[in-house]
Amino acid sequence: MPGEYRLGFICALASGWPGFVVFLPLAFLMIIPVSVVRLIIGIKYTTIGYPMVLSAVFSIIFQNSLTEFFNLGVLRV
């Protein structure tokens, strides 16, 4: 996708500061299930757009619980 870097920037800004620490690794981890689903459907290549959107949604919704689970509470401002 030509605008994926812009999408990633917007998702990172929407996630906020402690949420970004969860967003970035989660984006890379979400590539695996998204690529498996796309491979089952029959699409060979996976872009990082859908995993970034999914990880941004998860990091926004579960930001407090994920930061407490990973002991990232010290990063709160």
- Number of domains present in the structure of the chain: 1
Which residues, other chains included, contact 1 with Cβ-Cβ below 8 Å and sequence gap of 6+? 7, 47, 49
* Residue-averaged pLDDT of the chain: 89
Domain that holds residue 13: 4-75
pLDDT tier, 68 (very low <50, low <70, confident <90, very high otherwise): confident
Report pLDDT digits (tens) over 1-26.
678 889 989 999 999 888 898 899 99
pTM: 0.81
Alpha-carbon gap, residue 61 to 1, rounded angstroms: 26
Structure tokens at 10: 């917007």
> What average pLDDT does the segment 17-44 reach?
91
So what's the pLDDT on residue 67? Answer: 83
